[in-house]
Amino acid sequence: MITLKEIKANPAFTTLIEKSNAYLKARGYTEHGLRHVSYVSDKTAYILRQLGYDKRTVELGAIAGYLHDVGNLFNRKHHSISGASLVYFELRQLGMAHEDICTIVTAIANHEEEIGHAVSPVSAALILADKSDAHRTRANRLQDDRRPGIHDRVNLAITDTKLYVEDEGTITLEIAFDQTVCQIMDFFEIYLTRMEMCKEAATLLGCRFRLLINGLEFLGKLPG
């Protein structure tokens, strides 16, 4: 069975990730390179492992997380669909079992908030992992005098991010936010739909989703 280790060692996938990130950087988007996909891969696997899924499901989640953004090679618009198609072809070439490929590409095709939905454990874990990667290291700081765009400003304001599964069936995203850089409302301007998507994903996994910013709970508080 194809493993994450084999995927990482394959130079074709490394090139796809690096070229996709180069395209996004040229367009002024935040970092989507090897650091981002490695984080998403690790966190997808972590969520599935913590919730008791079998080793193969965890491995497929890790692979989906690592390959989820290669569709940006073509265009940012609907990159989840083009990425799923590209990954399907590449994994078939490697001889991966068709059932495993379907699990991976369905998750990749559904991680984009404009068109995606949590439809399986792997897709749900991938959504949570991907949307939690907000941090100042992702900002592509401009080298001229122009003011950074809202995505860079929000990421520059985030000094620490933690995503973890709690024992009582809660998945928590905890953020430390520097309000001298920008306001928390700026975060919600670009992240509200992503956080709602995380709520949907957590529900599919049998959990609730909590969002904490500077210790304040914005999503997930239980009534009464």
List the chain domain ranges: 4-219
Confidence at residue 89, expressed as pLDDT on a 0 to 100 scale = 96
Helices (H), the chain: 4-9, 11-26, 34-50, 55-67, 79-94, 98-109, 121-131, 150-157, 184-204
d(C-alpha 170, C-alpha 141), whole Å: 34
224, pLDDT greater than 50 = no
Tokens of 5: 């280790």
143, pLDDT greater than 50 = no
Q: Higher confidence at residue 221 or residue 159?
A: 159
Q: 27: pLDDT confidence band, cut at 50, 70 and 90?
A: confident
Confidence at residue 135, expressed as pLDDT on a 0 to 100 scale = 83
173, pLDDT greater than 90 = yes
Query: Helix axis angle, 34-50 relative to 11-26, nearest 10°?
Result: 110
Confidence at residue 57, expressed as pLDDT on a 0 to 100 scale = 98
Q: What is the mean pLDDT of residues 180-190?
A: 91
56 residue type, one letter: R
User: Domain 4-219: which topology?
Assistant: Hypothetical protein af1432 (1.10.3210)
DSSP 204: H
Confidence at residue 136, expressed as pLDDT on a 0 to 100 scale = 81
Q: β-strands 170-177, 216-219: how paired?
A: unpaired
- Encode pLDDT of 213-222 as tens digits: 999 998 765 5
157, pLDDT greater than 80 = yes
pTM: 0.92
CA atoms within 13 A on the CB side of 115: 12
Q: 148: pLDDT confidence band, cut at 50, 70 and 90?
A: low
